[in-house]
Chain A
């Protein structure tokens, strides 16, 4: 029984690692291959490790410019989203008030609106308030796109925090806002960490709205760079995968850093009784 369980467990872990790492390694290989090599023999090693794909990626698409923009959009889009949603998720998780259920359902709608139906209305809205082709426009829109996910994650996390935590703070004479920032935020780091990872990835990878809402290279983000290598009659997969590697590297870094946040929640969790 115990052995069977162990075998199953390791097999499962092995499979998960295989299907996760396999495509990634394949892409890493492909980023060193010529187009012809990718389209002929996708398994083997590249004939030699050519960095020309990486050089080409930077040459053909304005990657460095887009990089800066993506970093700004990623950081502020995430910060804005977490701040706003942290506040409302806390209230929605903790307090009973009239219209709460209705509000929750209405906010849940944001999870369900098809992207294609939002393209034109959002274009009109963003133009209407004069934020087209501005990073701040993308930051606000992405903060909005992450609304439902962050709301669900954070409110579900707040529910795990025992009420006594705040009650004792109030007894100590702390006010509402102070309690939120001083007591609740620090022990919710695991929740915020996960929400931050997802929100950052959203800001980092979104393509369709970035095309519609920006017009100049001053305010465009990295996902657009990938499409410089994929046109109808001339796709260069080698360069595209090289560019993809360049694009995902910081995401991996952010994730690894954020994981520390998630882990350090362990200590905070011990505080709770």
Chain B
């Protein structure tokens, strides 16, 4: 089912909150329901942004035989609009176990103002339902909106679908493994991540050669934040706009080798996990190749995109990296 809030009379701009049932099982006169909770913003038929969360509830048995006779109900659907923080929050609560809650929310600076109305739509033929206690009201004064995790990108490249704004000149899709082999990419986010906002970036990133001409193997630029460079014997981070003499480094004590990252190929090792965590207040932690660096960045900058560029080898070709499981999330 869908709770669809429309922001214009012609219903071209929507916030949809969806309860997508994947399976209902009757077991020992209990209902076991598995579902996805989704909040999405739609404009002219295009999904601008979507967040989802899966859940599984066991619903109390008392109502299974005759759901209409009971005063009870299965699930509480709570939709909260917190305009002060640009949030739309969908909470699904199991009535027989109220501590079981699935929460998913959308942070949107484009869906502003109050909706004009709400459609409640049955889009699934596999079950019918009753809704009661439908009302809208004020939040309690003590209400504190939750911090929402928002995905900018989340892909395991199991299919050849590039994230929006992602381009690569050298990239070759490795369909057997479901990953990219590339020497460069450029990723400009459809919407920059706001200043003063915590975020994490993770990916598996494995150079398949470490015999570059220069000491550098590759570097990753985070626009608005800084640059991470893998050298043969150390990892480096330089804050954006900072003097190179302020580069922070940590040495491996050995020379980087492709087997550090893929062992046995095509399997990624723990060392191949590239992660950047920014705290929204100017602190950043970079982890890669088994080491970590703590640096700083200017939190008043938006985070607008990521580039990767690999270094050249003796035969003029570029170092090729295996790239997979690319995720960027921010927290609002």
Same complex for A and B? Answer no
Which chain B residues have a beta carbon within 8 Å of chain A's beta carbons?
Answer: none
